[in-house]
Structure 1
Amino acid sequence: MTTLPTARDVRTTPEGLRWEPSERWVRGRKGDVTVVDSRHPVLVWEPGVPVPAYAFPRKEVREDLLRPAKNPPAGAHTGSQIFYDLHVDGELLENAAWTFPSADLSDHIAFEWFLRTGKGLDHWYEEEEEIFIHPRDPHKRVDAIRSSRHVQVAIDGTVVADSHRPVLLFETGLPTRYYIPREDVRLDLLEATDRSTGCPYKGTAEYWSWRGEADVPPNVVWSYPDPLPAVGPIKGLLAFYNEEVDITVDGERLERPVTHFTRTPAKPPHD
C-alpha cells in the first residue's frame, strides 16, 4: 500500500538536502519593507549545517526586489544554486537570497538572516512572534525544569556558585545547563561584559567573565534577563559553560563535555 507524505514528513533530495513543509505563517522584513509573507514555507537542512533555513514559494516573495547576483559566492550553499541581490529603499544587499538546486525546491527562494550572517533580512516573524538568528528546529526540544538538586560550580578550585534551587535546561544535542539564582552565585568574583547574543529558543543573553587569573575564557557565564515564554523559569538566573568550569551535582563531579563551545564561549551560544 502506498502512503502519501504528510505535512510533517521529512524528505531527502539527491543533493543531500532534507526538507519538510511548515504550517507557520512567516514574514521577513528589511527595515520597514516586507520582503517575504508566506503561509507555505518549507524548512531546509543543508548537509553539515546543524540548523535549518526557511525557503519560500516564489509567489510569496517580493521578486520585484530581487536581481540576479553580480558577484555570486562560490560554495556558499549546497549545489549549483542561483543567487540574488536584494534592492530595498535604495540599498543593495549582495547575495541576500538564493535557490536550492533540488527539483523539489526549484520554485522556492531562501534568504540570509542578518543576525546570523551579517547580511540579509533583519526582522523575522513566525505568526506574531519575532524570531532571531535562524528558524527554530521542530525536531529540537528545549525544556527548563525547576529542581532541588545540589549544584556547585567551581573555577580553579574556588566555589563560585552553590545552590539547591537550580533550573535545569535540557536542550537536544547539548549538555544539561544549570541555571542558578543570583543570590547563590559569587557575583563579586565575576565581571559584567558588554557582550550580548541572541538565541532563537531562549532570547537575548548578557555575559560575565571571571575576575581571577585562572585559565578560563571570557564570557564564561551568561543569563537571559527577559527570556522567551517557553523557557520562562531561567529568567535572570546565571549559567556557566560546563566545558570550562567544574560542576558538581548531588556530590558527583561531572565530566567536562566536549562540544563546539569548548574553549570558544566567545561564539554566540544557543544555550
Structure 2
Amino acid sequence: MTTFPTAPDVRATPEGILWEPSGRWVRGRTGEVTVVDSRHPLLVWEPGVPVPLYAFPREDVREDLLRPAKNPRTGTHTGSRIFYDLDVDGDVLENAAWTFPADDLAGHVAFEWFRRVGRGLDHWYEEAEEIFVHPRDPHKRVDAIPSGRHVRVEIDGVLVADTHRPVLLFETGLPTRYYIPREDVRLDLLEATDHSTGCPYKGTAAYWSWRGEGDATDVPPNVVWSYPEPLPAVGAVKDLLAFYNEAVDITVDGTRIERPVTPFTRTLSDKSPT
C-alpha cells in the first residue's frame, strides 16, 4: 500500500538539507526527450534557499544521457559530490544534474530547471500539469479571494488605480497582493514591456512599466504585472493588474500600507525585477 507524506515526514541531514518524500508523479524533459519520469521523487530544500527542488531515484533517470561534467560547478548545491552534463543527441547541457553528499539522498539525482537558472531541463510536469521555475511547495498556500475592500494605488503621488472590487492574493511568506480590474487602472500611465516571468502557483505573467507623471527614474521598471492565463487555482486574478507593494503606495480602506521588505526589494532597487 502506498503511503503519502505528512508534515512530520520532513527530515534534516547533517549538511542542513531538508527533504521529504513526495506522492506526486513528476516528469522532466529537454525538448521532446523525457529525461526523468518518477512516481517516487523527493522534495529537497537547500540551506538558505526558499524554494524546493526535486531529487529522483536513479532508476527513474535516463542515466545513459548523463556524462561526468567537464567543468563541474564546485561550491554549489550544498557540497554536491558529482555533477553531470546531459548529452541528448550531441546537444550537451553542462552541469544539468548532480548528486548531494547527504547519505539520506544517496542514490538520487537532482536536475536544474531552465526557467529558474537559465540551464537544465526546460519542461516539467506534476501529474498532468506543466509547472514552471521550481516545484510547488506543499507547505505553502496561495489563495486568490475576491474582496470588497477599497484599494487605491499611487506612484509618485499620482493616483494610478482606485477600486472597490479587488482580488486579494494571499501567498505564504509574501505580502498580500492586490489585483485590480483594468477598468479601475490608469492604463494610459503604463507601458507594456516584453518582460515575463513564470510562477509554479500562478502561471506566466506579463508586465508594464510606469510612464506617467513625476520622476520616472525613481520607479523601477516592470512594476505592474498580470496573468492573462493563470493556473486554475488562482483563476480569479485573470487579466487583473497588481503592483509591487515594495515600490508603490497602496491604501486599503483608508489606511496606507507600509512598503514591505521582501526578496523582491533588492531586485526592484536594482531596477531589474524577476
TM-score (norm 1): 0.95
What aligned pairs does 1:95-110 form with structure 2 within 5 A after superposition?
95-110=95-110
For 2:258 and 2:116, how far apart are their aligned partners in 1?
31
Give structure 1 regions of 4+ aligned residues with deviation exceeding 3 angstroms: none
What aligned pairs does 1:224-235 form with structure 2 within 5 A after superposition?
224-235=227-238
Counterpart of 2:5 in structure 1 is 7
Counterpart of 1:23 in structure 2 is 23
Q: Deviations over 1:104-129 (max 9, x none)?
A: 11100000011111111110001110
Residue 267 of structure 1 and its aligned partner are, at CA, apart by: 2.6
If each structure's helix is expressed as a fraction of its own residues, which one has the higher value?
Answer: 2
Amino acid at match of 2:208: W
What aligned pairs does 1:51-70 form with structure 2 within 5 A after superposition?
51-70=51-70
SS at structure 1 position matched to 2:205: strand
Counterpart of 1:40 in structure 2 is 40
Counterpart of 2:264 in structure 1 is 261
Residue 70 of structure 1 and its aligned partner are, at CA, apart by: 1.3
Task: Answer whether contact 1:23 1:40 (CA < 8 A) is retained.
Answer: yes
What aligned pairs does 1:69-218 form with structure 2 within 5 A after superposition?
69-212=69-212, 213-214=215-216, 215-218=218-221
Gaps of 5+ in 2: none
SS at structure 2 position matched to 1:94: strand
CA pair 206-134 structure 1, distance change in 2 beyond 3 A:
same
Pairing 1:219–2:217 present: no
Q: Deviations over 1:157-216 (max 9, x none)?
A: 111000000000000000000000000000011111111111111000001111133311
SS at structure 2 position matched to 1:261: helix
Count the aligned residue pairs.
264
For 1:225 and 1:71, how far apart are their aligned partners in 2?
40
Residue 19 of structure 1 and its aligned partner are, at CA, apart by: 0.1
For 1:267 and 1:48, how far apart are their aligned partners in 2?
20
Counterpart of 2:244 in structure 1 is 241
Residue 259 of structure 1 and its aligned partner are, at CA, apart by: 1.2
RMSD of aligned residue pairs (Cα, Å): 1.2
CA pair 237-74 structure 1, distance change in 2 beyond 3 A:
same
Amino acid at match of 1:7: P
Q: Deviations over 1:200-242 (max 9, x none)?
A: 1100000111113331111000000000000000000000000
Task: Answer whether contact 2:35 2:61 (CA < 8 A) is retained.
Answer: yes
Task: Answer whether contact 2:4 2:22 (CA < 8 A) is retained.
Answer: no
Amino acid at match of 2:243: F
Q: Deviations over 1:60-116 (max 9, x none)?
A: 000010011111111111024211111002101111000011111110000001111
For 1:161 and 1:7, how far apart are their aligned partners in 2?
44
Task: Answer whether contact 1:244 1:263 (CA < 8 A) is retained.
Answer: no
Gaps of 5+ in 1: none
Residue 6 of structure 1 and its aligned partner are, at CA, apart by: 6.9
TM-score (norm 2): 0.94
Identity of aligned residues (%): 80
Residue 263 of structure 1 and its aligned partner are, at CA, apart by: 5.1
For 2:80 and 2:176, how far apart are their aligned partners in 1?
39
SS at structure 1 position matched to 2:175: coil
